[in-house]
Amino acid sequence: MGGHCDTDDSPASFVKNPTIKFTKLFINGEFIDSISGKTFETIDPRTMETIARIAEGDKEDVDLAVKAALQAFDHGPWPRLPGSERARIMMKFADLIDENVEELASLDTIDAGKLFTMGKAVDIPHASSTLRYYAGAADKIHGEVLKMSREFHGYTLLEPIGVVGHIIPWNFPTTMFLLKISPALAAGCTMVVKPAEQTPLSALYYAHLAKLAGIPDGVLNVVTGFGPTAGAAISSHMDIDAVSFTGSPEIGRKVMQAAAASNLKVVSLELGGKSPLIIFDDVDVDMAAELAIFGILHNKGEICVASSRVYVQEGIYDELVKKLVEKAKAWVVGDPFDPKVQQGPQVDKKQFEKILSYIEHGKREGATLLTGGKPLGGKGYYIEPTIFSEVKEEMLIAKDEIFGPVMALAKFKTMEEAIERANSTRYGLAAGILTKDINVANTVSRSIRAGTIWINCYFAFDNDCPFGGYKMSGFGRDLGLEALHKYLQVKSVVTPLYNTPWL
């Protein structure tokens, strides 16, 4: 089941055990121990063994990092540099990322269980392109001249919001790090980043590269640690002006509460999803099967927009289900350094056990297990690709974000039924529509309450395309110029149009 592969003849074998160079906090341009001296383990999900011990930052360390960021914002050069100069440094940062792509990919593989080939060929190049995209915007930040209704001259300025806190998740350590810091850097902000405690390694390496690129001390600070301590300190800090968080709705609420109880800082939240993929019976079944299986198994299902709910029109249901099961059984699970492998281990023991518990819920609640459903091998957090059919909206596997390789299949008759079932969720991050009928595509895309709709494609991300959610998937947008503007303040400046005093 799942085509488990344990071969060790990968061309990438020379980076399977990279030297861990950076394990300390990065504050004010230096790698330092935490004030408490505490450390925590980061675990290789392939082996369940410790990779390294990482400095454990908490409130006192966040205070130190914020002090450095505030000093850099109030008195340092970064917010005052011409946009073209910020862009030049950001471009150099992107070049250094490209030059170190193999080491960075290997760090995300041993820390998060991500496919090495995917990291090297896709994730990291795309992340450096995001940095370049916002570098290109850094010298194009400007306000507008206002046509006032009275005898005044008015214009607006766009100014950096200040010190920003970024709290990032573990499923895409590289993507999320660059997704968050790039627009904030372009805007002229300074920042404190808390990577997920499960995956701190690449964030610290990116901090090192940022310094080499010439980003001034104090502009980019990385505090590794845990959510209830370091994360909470960022959310509640009186000198942090905005916080951007990606994670669960439960923690998103705590971030909002802390922001409100402190200095009413600006908050941006991306809180996951339970995304529907609606497949109409006029499509090519082979294409639909490819998209549907990739939509749930990519990154071992640890992706917020995974097509975890698949609704198939009854005319092709039986044929498509057969193809999905065949593809799931042939899906290769194993060592993420092996280029033949399609799915690595889940990120850690907690996530591994959570996914297995949801599979058991699916069985108990009456869904039909078509394939998978079990752990693979004796070592490592590997789970078989899993497909349930006959899934009803009230089942936990249809309601909750499992964040694993578990597909929930259901049959529908009419377009109206598909829309109703797709919207029967508290989430609204993304959705997919597969059809040859442009009228159906237009109607359904306008009817589904979600931030991104993919028609006859899936995971079609682009730097130009804003990304974020409706409903309990959060608010605010990453990517696109919308992300840049959330790190900018609008200031209005007004003077008399004529040399006449006004009271």
DSSP code of 46?
T
pLDDT at 2 > cutoff 70 = no
pLDDT at 243: 98
pLDDT at 498: 81
Q: Mean per-residue pLDDT for 312-339?
A: 97
pLDDT at 333 > cutoff 60 = yes
Shared domain for 206 and 292, answered yes or no, is no
Asked if the structure places residue 4 within a domain, the reply is no
Shared domain for 410 and 308, answered yes or no, is yes
Shared domain for 179 and 289, answered yes or no, is no
Q: Report the CATH number at residue 200.
A: 3.40.605.10
Asked if the structure places residue 420 within a domain, the reply is yes
Average pLDDT, the chain: 95
pLDDT at 503: 56
Shared domain for 329 and 233, answered yes or no, is no
| pTM score | 0.95
Task: Report residue 377's pLDDT band, with 50, 70 and 90 as the boundaries.
Answer: confident
Task: Report residue 189's pLDDT band, with 50, 70 and 90 as the boundaries.
Answer: very high
Asked if the structure places residue 460 within a domain, the reply is no
Shared domain for 167 and 308, answered yes or no, is no
- Structure token digits, residue 149: 């209704």
What's the rounded Cα separation, in Å, for the pair 286 and 451? 27
pLDDT at 470 > cutoff 70 = yes
Q: Mean per-residue pLDDT for 176-180?
A: 98
Task: Report residue 11's pLDDT band, with 50, 70 and 90 as the boundaries.
Answer: very low
Task: Report residue 499's pLDDT band, with 50, 70 and 90 as the boundaries.
Answer: confident
Shared domain for 171 and 198, answered yes or no, is yes
Q: Mean per-residue pLDDT for 280-305?
A: 98
Classify burial at 457, counting beta carbons within 10 Å of its beta carbon; exposed 0-12, middle 13-18, buried 19 or more. Answer: exposed
Asked if the structure places residue 346 within a domain, the reply is yes
* pLDDT tens-place string over residues 225-261: 999 999 999 999 999 999 999 999 999 999 999 999 9
pLDDT at 15: 66
pLDDT at 9: 45
Tally of structural domains, the chain = 2
Lowest mean per-residue pLDDT among 84-88, 278-282, 362-366, 499-503: 499-503
Asked if the structure places residue 55 within a domain, the reply is yes
pLDDT at 501: 64
Q: Report the CATH number at residue 298.
A: 3.40.309.10
Q: Mean per-residue pLDDT for 36-49?
A: 97
What's the rounded Cα separation, in Å, for the pair 399 and 392? 9
What does the H/E/C string look like for 264-279?
CCEEEEECCCCCEEEE
What's the rounded Cα separation, in Å, for the pair 64 and 102? 32
Shared domain for 284 and 187, answered yes or no, is no
Angle at 130 between CA 489 and CA 85, to 5 degrees: 60
Q: Mean per-residue pLDDT for 380-402?
A: 97
Residues with a known catalytic role? 270
CA distances to 105, 340, 345 from 15, in Å: 9, 17, 18
Asked if the structure places residue 467 within a domain, the reply is no
pLDDT at 353: 97
pLDDT at 73: 98
Instruction: Express as a percent the part of the chain with pLDDT over 90.
Output: 94
List the 386-389 sheet strands across, edge first: 368-371, 386-389, 406-412, 309-313, 276-279, 430-434, 452-455
Shared domain for 410 and 380, answered yes or no, is yes
Shared domain for 406 and 357, answered yes or no, is yes
What's the rounded Cα separation, in Å, for the pair 477 and 482? 6
Task: Report residue 17's pLDDT band, with 50, 70 and 90 as the boundaries.
Answer: confident
Shared domain for 263 and 290, answered yes or no, is no
**Which domain does 57 fall in, by range?**
12-271+472-490
Using an 8 Å Cβ cutoff, are 27 and 62 in contact? no
Classify burial at 343, counting beta carbons within 10 Å of its beta carbon; exposed 0-12, middle 13-18, buried 19 or more. Answer: buried
Shared domain for 344 and 209, answered yes or no, is no
Asked if the structure places residue 461 within a domain, the reply is no
Asked if the structure places residue 417 within a domain, the reply is yes
Shared domain for 285 and 228, answered yes or no, is no
